[in-house]
Amino acid sequence: MGVGLAKINVFPKCYINFFGDIMKVVLKLSLVLIVFFALTILYLNGIKVRQADWYDFGNGLINLSNVSVIKSQMNFGIILKEKDENGLDIEIVLVDAVISKENLENFKTEISKYKDKWESVTYKASINFDLFTLKLQTFETASIPLLGNSSCIELVNFWVKQLDSIKARVKPYNSIYSNELKL
C-alpha cells in the first residue's frame, strides 16, 4: 500500500463562510467610519452644510437660501382735496423708487409739504425674490389706521423694516441686492 497524503482541512467550510461574512461587515463598517471622519473633519474646518432659511410671508414660504437676486419697489401718491380746472382729481406721486431708508427720508420730506391738503392715497410696494413677487402690506393688513401723514410714514417705515429684516437673513455670498430694474 502506498502512503497517501490525507487531505486535511484546517478550517472547515462552516468557518470559512463565517470569516467571509465577518470580513464583509468589517469592510462596510470601515467605509462608514471613513465617511463619518471625513465629514467630521470638514465640519471642524468650517465647511458646514447650509441650512435652509425660510421666510414666512403669510400665504407661503420662501427659501432664502436659494434666492440669488432681491429687488424692491415702492410707489406712494396722494390725491389732493382740490381739483384741477376740469374738475378732476390731482394725484401727486411722492415716491416711486426702491425701498430704502434714504427714500423713506425723502418721502417724509415730500409728504410734509402736503399736510392736511390730501384726501386719499394710492400706494403699492413689492419685493422680488428672483422671479417671485411678494406684494407688501397695506394699511389694513399692517393694522395701521389711515389718519394722516404720520400713518403714511409708519406704513413706508414698515416696508423698509421688512426689507431690512429679509436682507439681514440672506447670506451675502448667495444673493445680490439689485434695484436697478423697476418692478
**Tens of pLDDT, residues 13-24:** 555 566 667 778
Of the pLDDT bands very low, low, confident and very high (cuts 50, 70, 90), residue 109 is: very high
The grid coordinates of residue 105 equal 427720508
**Tens of pLDDT, residues 84-102:** 899 898 999 999 999 999 9
Per-residue pLDDT for 33 more than 80?
yes
- Residues 70-109 as b or e (16 or more Cβ within 10 Å = b): bbbbbbbbbeeeeeeeeeeeeeeebbebbbbeebbeebbe
Q: Which of 81, 75, 92, 147 is nearest to 119 (CA)?
A: 81
What is the rounded distance in angstroms from the CA atom of residue 173 to the CA atom of residue 183?
A: 24
**Tens of pLDDT, residues 46-78:** 655 556 678 888 888 888 887 888 899 999 999
Determine the pLDDT at residue 122. Answer: 92
Q: Which of 115, 125, 172 is nearest to 148 (CA)?
A: 115
What is the rounded distance in angstroms from the CA atom of residue 68 to the CA atom of residue 130?
A: 6
Domains of the chain by residue range: 7-49, 54-177
- Per the prediction, the chain carries an average pLDDT of 81
